[in-house]
Structure 1
Amino acid sequence: MIFKENADRDMAIMNVAHAITSDLRKCLLQHEVASFAVPGGTTPGPIFDAMSSVEIDWARVHVMLTDERWVPEDHPRSNAGLVKARMLTGNAAAAKFIPFYREGLSAAEAAPQLSEALADKMPISVLLLGMGADMHTASLFPGAPGTEAAMARDAPLLCAVTPADQPEPRITFSAAALDGAMDKHLVIFGEDKRAAFEKAQSLPPADAPISAVISGGIVHWAA
């Protein structure tokens, strides 16, 4: 694992965008397509903005989410809505987006279907992660119903999780699927997140899910 400090958040955003697009280009030189898994939340939006105008062969990039709140795309809390609004614009509009939400199905019902549908797109080529102050990543929340199963080595690709302090169920890539990504980038901002990340290194994965998925990756931090 490599820990990179940036002078400020603007510099971190530009450096992460450059690193990810470089990884995608490298993957496309060796493979017909590249899969790119991204989080929701507030941190990745500016990174998406910076990436959307970059000139790469976006038509060969399959964009998917690391996790999704189980709401329709037009819901204000939809991660898919964020990705479409902030990333799949400009040059990146040519990318293929793979949504998770399935109308009429619960997250638990959809998880097996999605796991089967995404099997031929594994491993993830390039992975972008965020982390909460509680050391969760994607929707692997410590102690949440479903997280223990999603952290198991033999977990399916997609798992349903129901965090008690969140307004809706979630679906998330399992820890094994995330950790198996070829290139991994974690972006954290602020002293509190840095302290949480450092603490995670000495905790079991059940208490700090981020520690189960970042081996061999790059951590990008700015105050």
Structure 2
Amino acid sequence: MEGHTRVKLLTYADRDMMAIDLAQKLAGELTATLMHEERALLVVPGGTTPGPIFDALCAADLDWNRVDVLLSDERWVPADHPRSNTRLVRERLLVGRAAAARMLPLYASADTPELALAQLEQVIRPYLPISVALLGMGDDMHTASLFPDGDNLTAALAPDAPLLVTMRSPSQPEPRISLTARVLREALSLHIVITGAEKRAALGRAKDLPPEQAPIAALLDDAMIHWVD
């Protein structure tokens, strides 16, 4: 899977424009899905980058009560913790019109993610495949919680990967749980949003590296990349 040379890249004049345009695109794709499916599954990332996109998307006029929302990954902290991605989504996306959507859990009250893995997979499996996925990327070329130094990266990249993997990384303060590359690639529509010159440069490196070094490379053939400086 080395040697990616074709990256589908959209660039934007400013961050406000990107947030509005990308929110409209996601809403349009969800609406199109709901025209021929009973429900649509929207996968979203945590972190700081998607906040403005969530702010625009939550006001979209679509049938939110038929939309299920799932995180791409989660830190293993309670849902009210400041570092919880679940908390971010509840505060920034599941408000306004989008409050009618249903959030699927990626955290459970267990000491470690391994103890909840089977339970969470059982909940998520009936809603797959993903209708629309929005992902981010770190400077280290990780996406979701698929880190280059993650202990379960090989399993997460395997063609026959499970739905979820636990992930521990020396660069991260807490354990994680993440959708695998296989599940993310199977999304009917896949978007990756990046901001700043450093991430643009990282994306340029990633397309010529194997996913074991640059996990985002596992998704580049299937994704539309949205970038603003």
TM class by shorter chain equals over 0.9
Instruction: Decide whether the 8 Å contact of 1:35 with 1:62 is kept in 2.
Output: yes
Instruction: Decide whether the 8 Å contact of 1:179 with 1:214 is kept in 2.
Output: no
Q: State which of 189, 194, 198 in structure 1 corresponds to 2:195.
A: 189
Normalised TM-score (structure 2) = 0.95
Q: After TM superposition, list the pairs within 5 Å mapping 1:192-211 onto structure 2.
A: 192-211=198-217
Correspondence for 1:126: 132
Number of aligned residues: 223
Q: What secondary structure sits across from 1:41 in the alignment?
A: coil
Partner deviation per Cα, 1:1-57 (whole Å, 9 max, x = no partner)? 521011111111111111100110010011000000000000001100001111100
Letter in 2 for 1:45: G
Correspondence for 1:38: 44
Instruction: Decide whether the 8 Å contact of 2:105 with 2:120 is kept in 1.
Output: no
Q: What secondary structure sits across from 1:10 in the alignment?
A: helix
Instruction: Decide whether the 8 Å contact of 1:184 with 1:214 is kept in 2.
Output: no
Partner deviation per Cα, 1:181-212 (whole Å, 9 max, x = no partner)? 00011111111101101110100011111111
Instruction: Decide whether the 8 Å contact of 1:38 with 1:64 is kept in 2.
Output: yes
Q: CA RMSD in A?
A: 1.0
Correspondence for 2:148: 142
Q: Provide the rounded CA distance (Å) in 2 between the counterparts of 1:183 and 1:15.
A: 16
Correspondence for 2:75: 69
How far is the alpha carbon of 1:215 from its aligned partner? Answer: 2.1
Q: Provide the rounded CA distance (Å) in 1 between the counterparts of 2:118 and 2:110.
A: 15
Normalised TM-score (structure 1) = 0.97
How far is the alpha carbon of 1:113 from its aligned partner? Answer: 2.0
How far is the alpha carbon of 1:105 from its aligned partner? Answer: 4.4
Q: Report whether the alignment pairs 1:218 with 2:219.
A: no
How far is the alpha carbon of 1:213 from its aligned partner? Answer: 1.9
Letter in 2 for 1:4: L
Mind listing any 5+ residue stretches in structure 2 that lack a counterpart? Answer: 1-6
Mind listing any 5+ residue stretches in structure 1 that lack a counterpart? Answer: none
Q: State which of 176, 185, 188 in structure 1 corresponds to 2:182.
A: 176
